[in-house]
Amino acid sequence: MNLGSLNTLRAILVHGSFTAAGAAVGCTPSAVSLQIKQLEEFFGQPLFDRSTRVPRPTGFAVEIASAAADFGERIEALRAGPSRLLEGRFRLGVITSMQSDLLPPALRLLGQRYPALDVRVPPLNDTDELLTELRAGRIEAALLVRPENGGSSRMAWHELRRQPYVMLAPPDAPEADPRSLLANHGWIGYDTSLPGGRVAARHVRSLVPGLVCQREFRSMDAIVSMVSLGLGVTVVPQPRERLVQAYGLRVIGLGRQAPFRRIALVWRRADEGNRKVAEVVAAFRQVQEDASA
């Protein structure tokens, strides 16, 4: 029996359906159904009443979930031993924009908690590249933009934040409307070889069909600098506040239809029980909670 199946069972009871549980644990509904079938074969009896539209858990399923919760708490208490016992190398991929955002405080926190843990950040900086390295086993986890389709169910995902796209304009640009700003000042593009750049471009062209960007850059710092000098306006994922303030830019919201990107940590599902992975995830979660407070 796979212990992960017990977590899936608990997720179904918490979230109310196979589909919602799958979203919570990072599995497809069919994978959730397979795990429950395996549990039913292991225990020799059905765990859900499937005569209703939404399968209902049996009393025995509730008992199993309760026992699994107790077991999980005891195992977690044993695993969370003295911090100095967590040591060795951990290879973490991080997209460029997060290397100056969430990464520094997370590294500081990990250093305080686990001085013997050596976190290495390789020189990789886009989501597709990081996912390739993760699948190949050359990194243990990655902080990246979750793909629009949700990403592979073979990976475990933890979403940290939803980052809206905004328009950045020169400080002296008088217009308030995104369409007017694009029409009057021109468009500086965010690299369309990146998924985030393609999202930004789609939104710009939904505002001004057929608009062609004057210049295109991958570096957020370069884009911000260009905008600050009056070379155009741009649509990008909302930059960190310090960068905006340093250049004195105007930030214009894009309304209810504004696109967003999901910043997430991802690791191989086979490493679900890896304590190093768990503690790295916990550190980033703490940093995000502190930033949102």
Sign, Cα dihedral of 53, 59, 63, 69: positive
Label the pairing between strands 141-145 and 88-94.
Answer: parallel
Q: What is the mean pLDDT of the chain?
A: 91
Give the per-residue pLDDT at 236.
97
Class of the CATH-defined domain 3-79:
mainly alpha
For CATH 3.40.190.10, list the domain ranges present in the chain.
83-162+261-292, 163-260
Class of the CATH-defined domain 163-260:
alpha beta
Give the per-residue pLDDT at 5.
87
How many angstroms separate the CA atoms of 216 and 222, rounded? 10
Q: What's the pLDDT tens digit per position in 103-136?
A: 999 999 999 999 999 999 998 778 999 999 999 9
- What tokens does 187 get? 């468009």
In this predicted structure, the answer to whether residue 208 has a pLDDT above a threshold of 90 is yes
Contact at 8 Å (CB) between 156 and 267? yes
Contact at 8 Å (CB) between 110 and 287? no
Q: Determine the CATH number of domain 83-162+261-292.
A: 3.40.190.10
What is the average pLDDT across 218-225? 93
How many angstroms separate the CA atoms of 44 and 37, rounded? 10
